[in-house]
Amino acid sequence: MTEIAQYRRSTRAARRRRRRRKTKFPARITAISLFSIGVITLAAAALPVHVERPETAIPAPVHSMAPTTTVQVLEPAEEVVAVSEETTPPLFSDADVAAIAKTVYGEALITHSDMEMAAVAWCILNRVDSTEDFFPDTIMEVVTQDSQFHGYSESNPVDPHIEWLVRDVLNRWTLEKAGAEDVVRVLPKDYLYFWGDGRHNHFTTEYHVGTTWDWSAENPYES
């Protein structure tokens, strides 16, 4: 065999050995890798397993609520006052009371008599009720009519006792107009005038003439 043939044969043999080594080396690596993985797996299986539980949100406490009951509060119904055809407005006001009281103060205080002072108040009311055209129809107009009650003055005081007396007369007058028959007048309806002598007043049915009142009626203020 020639040298060239030997060289070629040795070269081929070397190549085959290298191929076998290359083929065996990956197989060894694969076997070693598989063995290592198996060992690691067994070791992991032997270790205690700690599993972290996910945090669970604590639910807010639920308060048990009783069924809601809606209570409807009703406003009290407005009282309905039936107004009959017979209902009439008040016949006098506080201003009327004051006007008559000031007139009585200037015209009859000097008499020191409740009956005579009440008679002045009745005379004013007689004029209010009079059908004569000469007299006005309201208390204020009668009291303030020109040249009639000289004792009246806006500046006169409202004496408490005279005010009480005037209210008593007005209440009796109101009852009379409502139909009461005997309200104990101290001056009859037809006496529309009076004049004074400096001590007492004298009431007449006509101006300075006619019948003069004799004070024969019952006196409700004697007590």
Host domain of residue 6: 1-40
Q: What is the mean pLDDT of residues 131-140?
A: 95
Residue 158 has pLDDT above 70, yes or no: yes
**What's the pLDDT score for residue 39?**
42
Buried b / exposed e across 133-153, counting CB within 10 Å, b at 16+? eebbeebbebbeeeebbebbe
**What's the pLDDT score for residue 21?**
54
Q: Is residue 3 part of a domain?
A: yes
Q: How confident is the model at residue 139 (pLDDT cuts 50, 70, 90)?
A: very high
Q: Is residue 194 part of a domain?
A: yes
Q: 0.85 exceeded by the pTM?
A: no
Q: How confident is the model at residue 11 (pLDDT cuts 50, 70, 90)?
A: low
Looking at the fold, whether 128 and 191 belong to one and the same domain comes out as: yes
Residue 166's domain is classified under what CATH number?
1.10.10.2520
Percent of the chain exceeding pLDDT 90 equals 57
Cα separation, 188 vs 176, whole angstroms:
12
Q: How confident is the model at residue 209 (pLDDT cuts 50, 70, 90)?
A: confident
Looking at the fold, whether 118 and 208 belong to one and the same domain comes out as: yes
Enter the tokens of residue 100: 């008559």
Q: What is the mean pLDDT of residues 64-86?
A: 43
Higher pLDDT, 72 or 115: 115
Q: Is residue 223 part of a domain?
A: no
Looking at the fold, whether 99 and 23 belong to one and the same domain comes out as: no
Q: Is residue 67 part of a domain?
A: no
Q: How confident is the model at residue 90 (pLDDT cuts 50, 70, 90)?
A: confident
Residue 162 buriedness (CB in 10 A; 0-12 / 13-18 / 19+): buried
Looking at the fold, whether 18 and 105 belong to one and the same domain comes out as: no
Number of domains in the chain: 2
**What's the pLDDT score for residue 65?**
43
The DSSP bridge partners found for residue 206 are 209
Looking at the fold, whether 108 and 205 belong to one and the same domain comes out as: yes
Residue 42 has pLDDT above 50, yes or no: no
Q: Is residue 222 part of a domain?
A: no
Q: ∠ CA 92-95-100 to the nearest 5 degrees?
A: 80
Q: In what order do the strands lie in the sheet with 193-196?
A: 193-196, 201-206, 209-212
